[in-house]
């Protein structure tokens, strides 16, 4: 009885406090948001939901094979126990760690250099973008020829300069293939990293450095105490961009190795499962795994960023 007697006034006044105008404004806000939400739903949520749905079915790519039916978690268990998938995940992670760390360090050095003032800085800033401006497939094909063991220019120069004892099949030999493909990705993407970091460097006020000079801080101290802390937001954005890109890598690997087993990345595994083998359901399950792996990285980065803000 007491519960009935006890009034629960808390929410009511709050609701009452909303004026007509406020309500109208809220409605208008939702109305204006609808187009954007519809676009997001159409291009992001719908495909994602469909992929998740397909991952529970045995759907095939081509017609007339088997009628599509619900198979529960079968696809997930098949992918989970497939050594080729495990290999693809490990390879992709290795590739991401190698390329992102090299690109970050090299990109930071380049950004610091082109941020300082010297003659021809404008030219330098533009020229460094050339690798980034070449389409990936074209750049990869170029490098594939340059790294070839019979007519490749890299081997030719290496042997002439006595750096190499004999021509090496950088791409075919499993012991060097990951290094070769990582090198090409680093060559291509470092300019992009440098550009993002340069943008971050340019918003750091110069008077901080002037003050540090007055206080007698060395250049190295200035870098660790001023540049790096103030660059942190730009660094995080760069790392998120690059890590997500590296985890989804497809083109360089596909041009370099085609369907080779030991060089399958997650994206190539999925493409070859869906389109080559025709198993849409199985490929969808792998896509969901890949989505979760990438989501995990995003969560880690975003948490790190928040902690940092506080």
Partner 1 sequence: MKHRRLLVLAGAIGAIALVASLSVAAASSNRPARTHQAAAIAAPKVPNAAAIKKKYGGQKITFVGDSVGNGHVRDLALAKRFTKDTGIKVSVTPHPAASDAAYSQLARAFSSKSSSIDVAMIDVVWPGAFAPYLVDLKPKLGKQSKLHAAGIVQNDTIGGKLVAMPWFGDYGILYYRTDLLKKYGYKAPPTTWSDLFKMAKKIQDGEQKSNPNFAGFVFQGNSYEGLTCNALEWIASAGGGHMIDNGKATINNTKAATILDAIRAQVGKTTPRGVTSYQEDQTEHAFDSGDAAFARNWPYQYGIGATAGSKVKGKFSVTTLPHGAAGKPVGTVGGWQLAVSKYSKHKDATIEFVRYMTSPAVEKFDAITNSNVPTIPSVAKDKAVVKTNPYLKPAIASVARVTRPAKFLKTHYNEASKVIYQGINQILNGTPAKNVLPGVQSKLNQILKQK
Residue nearer to partner 1 on the CB measure, 89 or 180: 180
Q: Rounded to the nearest whole angstrom, what is the least distance from the CB of residue 123 to partner 1 in the complex?
A: 7
- One of 150, 165, 220, 309 touching partner 1 (CB under 8 A): 150
Closest CB to partner 1 among 31 and 123? 123
Nearest distance from C-beta of residue 61 to partner 1, angstroms: 5
Which segments of the chain does DSSP mark as H helices, in order?
A: 2-5, 11-17, 20-40, 46-54, 74-80, 83-115, 121-127, 130-133, 136-146, 153-160, 174-202, 206-214, 219-222, 228-247, 251-257, 266-271, 280-309
Residue 167 vs 222, nearer CB to partner 1: 167
**122 is an interface residue for partner 1 by CB under 8 A:** yes
Q: Which of 54, 95, 114, 168 binds partner 1 (CB under 8 A)?
A: 168
What residues from 42 to 61 belong to the interface with partner 1 (CB under 8 A)?
A: 61
Site string for partner 1, 56-85 (x = CB under 8 A): -----xxxxx--------------------
Q: Give min distance, CB of 69 to partner 1, in A.
A: 14
Q: Which is nearer to partner 1, 171 or 231 (CB)?
A: 171
Residue closer to partner 1, measured from CB, 228 or 261: 261
Residue 83: CB minimum distance to partner 1, A = 9
Q: Which is nearer to partner 1, 47 or 229 (CB)?
A: 47
Q: Vertex 101, ends 252 and 152: CA angle to 5°? A: 40
Q: Using the rule CB under 8 A, is 161 a contact of partner 1?
A: no
Segment contacting partner 1 by CB under 8 A, of 6-14, 35-43, 209-217, 256-264: 256-264
**CA separation, residue 110 to residues 84, 117, 229, 258 (Å):** 38, 13, 18, 33
Q: At what angle do helices 228-247 and 83-115 cross, to 10 degrees?
A: 150
Size of the chain in residues: 310
Dmax (CA) of the chain? 97
Q: At 8, give phi and psi (nearest 5°).
A: -115, 80
DSSP 120: T
80/224 with CB nearer partner 1? 80
- Determine if 295 is a binding residue for partner 1 (CB under 8 A): no
Touching partner 1, residues 207-246 (CB under 8 A): none
Helix, strand or coil, per DSSP, at residue 289: helix
How far is Cα 247 from Cα 253, in angstroms, rounded to an integer? 12
**Residue 11, interface with partner 1 (CB under 8 A)?**
no
> Distance (Å, rounded) from C-alpha 283 to C-alpha 275?
9
Could you write out the DSSP letters of every residue in 141-210? Answer: HHHHHHT-TTT-HHHHHHHHTTS-SS---TTTSHHHHHHHHHHHHHHHHHHHHHHHHHHHHHTS-HHHHH
Q: Give the residue with the Cβ less far from partner 1, 171 or 239.
A: 171
Question: Cα–Cα distance between 267 and 273 in angstroms, integer?
Answer: 10
Q: Does 202 bind partner 1 (CB under 8 A)?
A: no
Note the residues at the interface with partner 1 (CB under 8 A).
61-65, 122-123, 126-127, 129-130, 133-135, 138, 141-142, 145, 148-151, 167-169, 171-174, 257-262, 272, 275-279
């Amino acid at each position: 009885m007491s519960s009935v007697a006890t009034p629960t006034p808390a929410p009511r006044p709050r609701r009452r406090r909303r004026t007509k105008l406020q309500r109208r404004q809220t409605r208008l806000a939702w109305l204006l948001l609808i187009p954007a939400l519809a676009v997001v739903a159409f291009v992001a949520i719908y495909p994602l939901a469909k992929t998740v749905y397909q991952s529970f079915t045995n759907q095939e790519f081509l017609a007339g094979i088997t009628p599509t039916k619900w198979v529960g978690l079968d696809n997930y268990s098949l992918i989970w126990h497939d050594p080729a998938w495990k290999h693809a995940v490990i390879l992709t992670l290795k590739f991401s760690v190698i390329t992102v760390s090299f690109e970050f360090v090299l990109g930071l050095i380049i950004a610091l250099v082109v941020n300082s003032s010297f003659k021809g800085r404008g030219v330098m800033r533009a020229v460094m973008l050339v690798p980034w401006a070449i389409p990936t497939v074209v750049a990869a094909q170029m490098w594939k020829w340059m790294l070839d063991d019979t007519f490749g220019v890299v081997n030719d120069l290496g042997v002439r300069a006595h750096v190499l004892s004999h021509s090496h099949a950088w791409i075919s030999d499993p012991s060097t293939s990951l290094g070769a493909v990582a090198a090409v990705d680093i060559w291509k993407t470092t300019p992009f990293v440098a550009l993002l970091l340069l943008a971050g460097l340019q918003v750091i006020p110069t008077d901080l450095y002037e003050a540090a000079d007055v206080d007698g801080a060395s250049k190295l101290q200035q870098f660790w105490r001023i540049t790096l802390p103030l660059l942190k937001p730009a660094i995080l954005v760069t790392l998120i961009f690059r890590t997500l890109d590296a985890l989804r890598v497809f083109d360089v690997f596909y041009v370099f190795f085609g369907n080779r087993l030991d060089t399958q990345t997650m994206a190539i595994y999925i493409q070859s499962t869906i389109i080559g083998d025709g198993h849409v359901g199985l490929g969808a399950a792998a896509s969901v795994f890949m989505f979760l792996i990438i989501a995990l990285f995003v969560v880690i980065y975003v948490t790190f960023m928040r902690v940092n803000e506080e």
